[in-house]
Amino acid sequence: MNLHGIEAGITTLVISGNIILTSLCQLLAILVIGLGVTRALIIFVKDALFNPHTMEAFQRSRLVMGYSFSLLEFRLSEI
């Protein structure tokens, strides 16, 4: 058995897996943050245009963004 060849193969596999998983986590983080910001913006604009209670709209939009970020943190802690 050639241990040097096996070591090189495993090293390549681990490095490739690390790059793929890191990219996947970053892509999912961008997706979650983008969806949270978009939902919060839609809530804020809709309530600001159609309801005079802009402070309530601001609080609801912040709540949606906070929920998205906490979901992101929970998902990343599972990895």
From first to last of its 79 residues, the chain has per-residue pLDDT tens of: 587 888 888 999 999 999 999 999 889 888 888 888 888 788 778 877 777 666 776 777 777 777 777 766 655 565 5
What is the number of domains present in the chain?
Answer: 1
Please list the alpha-helical segments (H only) found in the chain: 3-50, 54-78
Structure confidence at residue 13 (pLDDT) = 93
Structure confidence at residue 41 (pLDDT) = 82
Which candidate, 45, 44, 34, places its Cα nearest to that of 69? 34
| Residue range of the domain that includes 21 | 3-78
Quickly tell me which residue has 């929920």 as its tokens: 67
Report d(CA 51, CA 43) in Å as an integer: 11
